Amino acid sequence: MTNMSPDEFRHYGYRVVDWIADYWKHLESLPVAPRVEPGDILRRLPAHPPEQGESFDAVLSDLDELLVPGLLHWQHPRFFGYFPANSSPPAVLADLLCSGLGVQGMLWVTSPACTELEQRVLDWLAQALGLPERFRLAGPGGGVIQDTASSSVILAVLAALHRASAGRVRRDGVTPGRYVCYVTAETHSAVTKAAVITGLGEQAIRQVPTRPGEQAMDLTQLRGLVTADLVAGHTSLLAVATVGTTSTCAVDPVPGMGALCREHGIWLHVDAAYAGVAAVCPELRWLHDGVAEFADSYCTNPHKWLLTNFDCDTFWVADRAALTGALSILPEYLRNEASESGQVTDYRDWQIPLGRRFRALKLWAVLRCYGLAGLREHIRRGIEHAQHVARWITADERFELTTPQRLSLVCFRLRAANQANLDLLARVNATGITFLTHTKIDERVSLRFAAGGTHTELHHVEQAWRCVQQQAATLLAG
């Protein structure tokens, strides 16, 4: 085969859209988790690429035969592991358009609409989530789409270093042992990774204890550590406040952390990867308490719970000059009049890579097709599902909640040893009926039930819970 003709593309395009529609329609009848051993799929794939081109039919049939049986079905309505990784029809269609357009949005001039749609959509989302004016277009800050929350925290560290060193780090690099960052044991591991990547090293990470019996940062302990670092001659660079921790959806005390950070010139990054999008509901705006007053940077992931397929992390900074100051480099081959006029935004200076996809398209499609009302309905449905699960757990004396149900996440355990809980998880997931994951809270293994899937309805939640109960009954009987 050479290039597909437009008509052939149309033919296979329809087939692929049909394929996806059928996949979604029949997902329910597939086991949620695959039954494969390491290497099973690799062994069935040819060791060498084909010399002569094949038809796209061959690709589709291998997708069915070889790959689908090896997938964990994240869009399955009974998938309740990790956090949701929502995909949705408008987002998928817009992502296809993004691929078809194939534009690069690294500079304003390389596709003006790519940059300006992103600016508008991030401004829309900032309004929808109750984020402050200073993050918006008209203010000194601004928003940008990143691939992931992990990239956002790397950028926060780089911007913080630029500000704290008055630009010297750009030239001289990081002075070993000088800068420190504050997190808790519940903060996402991406922050430690960011310290490693940016050259601060793991030794820069200060793990602030959480309040006893809770999973949120203890402010008194934070104050103590900051003071000790000051005395020891370290520079307190950055604190990460998590709104909705990965393990249990705990919320750090952002206003208190913010006040302390302001007092000491510490950059406050708010990581709301999972939970932030829930603030689209007015009754959940409290999630952003303190962000307006104190956050230097903030991110949330529409690719988790806001119906926008991966990758789409939305990142805002209060002062874009710190970010672009840390990152902008202008080689001759990228020079252009628009950039030099200072009237345009070049998003390459707001991210790690140079090239960038037209990701705003899918977020725009989601915001337009669902509307804020549709998004609120989706968030509220996930929370209602979690509330049901929490009630059923409380009503079954074999089980207990390990933390209060928070948003669409329920952490619970069998009132039994850690090993029994791990066994229960393995049995549940082996049924193929549902899929859960686990965490450890104060040394106790807990199962996590994370609702919020795009296709999940109450009867799916009921089916999953019955499965957990049945497996618990067999486990306890055995």
Ligand X SMILES: *Cc1c(COP(=O)(O)O)cnc(C)c1O
**Applying CB under 6 A, which of residues 119, 148, 314, 405 lies at the interface with ligand X?**
148
Query: CA-to-CA distance for 356 and 347, rounded, in angstroms?
Result: 8
For ligand X, which is the closer residue by CB, 190 or 266?
A: 190
Residue 149 within binding range of ligand X, rule CB under 6 A: yes
**Applying CB under 6 A, which of residues 75, 150, 198, 314 lies at the interface with ligand X?**
150
Query: CA-to-CA distance for 184 and 284, rounded, in angstroms?
Result: 24
Region from 122-130, 145-153, 253-261, 277-285 binding ligand X, contact rule CB under 6 A: 145-153
Region from 1-9, 250-258, 268-276, 364-372 binding ligand X, contact rule CB under 6 A: 268-276
Residue 110 within binding range of ligand X, rule CB under 6 A: no
Region from 103-111, 144-152, 214-222, 466-474 binding ligand X, contact rule CB under 6 A: 144-152
Q: What are phi and psi of 102, to 5 degrees?
A: 55, 35
Region from 120-128, 142-150, 277-285, 343-351 binding ligand X, contact rule CB under 6 A: 142-150
3-class secondary structure, 278: helix
For ligand X, which is the closer residue by CB, 301 or 345?
A: 301
Instruction: Compute the least distance from the CB of residue 406 to ligand X, in Å.
Output: 12
Q: With contacts defined by CB under 6 A, how many residues of the chain interact with ligand X?
A: 14
Query: CA-to-CA distance for 180 and 281, rounded, in angstroms?
Result: 35
Q: How many CA atoms lie within 13 A of 393 on its CB side?
A: 27
Two tokens, residue 356: 């960038």
224, 259 Cβ separation under 8 angstroms: no
Q: What are phi and psi of 133, to 5 degrees?
A: -50, -40
Q: Show the binding pattern over residues 313-352: x = contacts ligand X (CB under 6 A), - = does not.
A: x---------------------------------------
70, 454 Cβ separation under 8 angstroms: no
Residue 188 within binding range of ligand X, rule CB under 6 A: yes
361, 98 Cβ separation under 8 angstroms: yes
Instruction: Compute the least distance from the CB of residue 475 to ligand X, in Å.
Output: 29
Instruction: Compute the least distance from the CB of residue 149 to ligand X, in Å.
Output: 4
**Applying CB under 6 A, which of residues 154, 190, 238, 366 lies at the interface with ligand X?**
190
Residue 157 within binding range of ligand X, rule CB under 6 A: no
Residue 273 within binding range of ligand X, rule CB under 6 A: yes
For ligand X, which is the closer residue by CB, 31 or 276?
A: 276
For ligand X, which is the closer residue by CB, 248 or 421?
A: 248
Residue 297 within binding range of ligand X, rule CB under 6 A: no
Instruction: Compute the least distance from the CB of residue 232 to ligand X, in Å.
Output: 29
Query: CA-to-CA distance for 280 and 241, rounded, in angstroms?
Result: 20
Query: CA-to-CA distance for 63 and 25, rounded, in angstroms?
Result: 17
Two tokens, residue 43: 């062994």
Region from 6-14, 67-75, 271-279, 445-453 binding ligand X, contact rule CB under 6 A: 271-279
Footprint (CB under 6 A) of ligand X, residues 223-242: 242
The residue with its CB nearest to ligand X is 148
β pairing state of 179-183 and 235-242 = parallel
For ligand X, which is the closer residue by CB, 304 or 378?
A: 304
Residue 274 within binding range of ligand X, rule CB under 6 A: yes
For ligand X, which is the closer residue by CB, 108 or 357?
A: 357
Q: Show the binding pattern over residues 59-98: x = contacts ligand X (CB under 6 A), - = does not.
A: ------------------------x---------------
For ligand X, which is the closer residue by CB, 301 or 405?
A: 301
Instruction: Compute the least distance from the CB of residue 344 to ligand X, in Å.
Output: 28
For ligand X, which is the closer residue by CB, 439 or 471?
A: 439
Instruction: Compute the least distance from the CB of residue 241 to ligand X, in Å.
Output: 10
For ligand X, which is the closer residue by CB, 271 or 319?
A: 271
Residue 186 within binding range of ligand X, rule CB under 6 A: no
For ligand X, which is the closer residue by CB, 106 or 191?
A: 191
Angle, alpha carbons 375-89-458 (nearest 5°):
60
For ligand X, which is the closer residue by CB, 246 or 405?
A: 246
Instruction: Compute the least distance from the CB of residue 189 to ligand X, in Å.
Output: 8
Residues 6 or more apart in contact with residue 21 via CB below 8 angstroms: none
Q: Which residues bind ligand X (CB under 6 A)?
A: 83, 148-150, 188, 190, 242, 245-246, 271, 273-274, 301, 313
